[in-house]
Structure 1
């Protein structure tokens, strides 16, 4: 059995970048920072590490992300991992990148915007 499913929550590191591809399909790239807090073994002090992820959103959902999201906004992304490989045109070196292709992006309100971080507006790939 193969499972490729990702759930990741974090803050946008930049404003969404929308582009249109052949046929008029919208594609939006999001930069996401997800923090993990943990206690190092034998220490009382909390540590934090940040994972930076590129998220690709397609179709109407991409347009919604571009319209309603901005740098610093909190989101929860549900999707799948995608591994891309290419040859760098300048150096000729092989490059690779792991990205998340979003099925759903949930917009999370900040606590200062009222409400809790448990809910929020959800966009889906459905039109």
Structure 2
């Protein structure tokens, strides 16, 4: 038996990077800062999240920088070859299956109103 399940709760590091494909599929990328259990450091761990489909559209519509979210998904590695050096590279990515919007409604409304005031 094998198991690849990741569950994280943290704060979003930036507004969603959303791509719409001609097929109608939606892809959303986010970064998530998660505090370590150790109290010796204030530096969070950063994770790259990849979200697809209806869940990606929800993230695009409702998630903004600083929002607290919970995610459940699986760990995968993106692999590529560096164009300038030819070196093989990889990056861990969390492929999100479930997204939970956390925090109070007031927190979410205040972050939305801050974003709209920038325009």
TM bin, normalised by shorter chain, reads 0.7 to 0.9
Map of 2:93 onto structure 1:
99
Post-superposition, which runs of at least 4 consecutive aligned residues in structure 1 deviate over 2 A? 46-49, 110-114
SS of corresponding position for 1:64: helix
CA distance in 2, matches of 1:9, 1:77: 7
Structure 1 or 2, whichever has the larger Rg, is 1
Q: Which has the larger helix fraction?
A: 2
Please tell me the root mean square deviation across aligned C-alpha atoms, in Å: 1.9
SS of corresponding position for 2:57: helix
Matches within 5 A, 1:59-70: 59-70=53-64
Q: Report deviation, 1:105.
A: 0.6
Instruction: Please list every run of 5 or more consecutive structure 1 residues that lacks an aligned counterpart in the other structure.
Output: 40-45, 115-127
Q: Which has the larger strand fraction?
A: 1
Map of 2:115 onto structure 1:
none
Instruction: Please list every run of 5 or more consecutive structure 2 residues that lacks an aligned counterpart in the other structure.
Output: 109-119
Map of 1:80 onto structure 2:
74
Q: TM-score, normalised by structure 1?
A: 0.77
Q: TM-score, normalised by structure 2?
A: 0.82
The aligned length equals 108
Question: Is 1:26 matched up with 2:30?
Answer: no
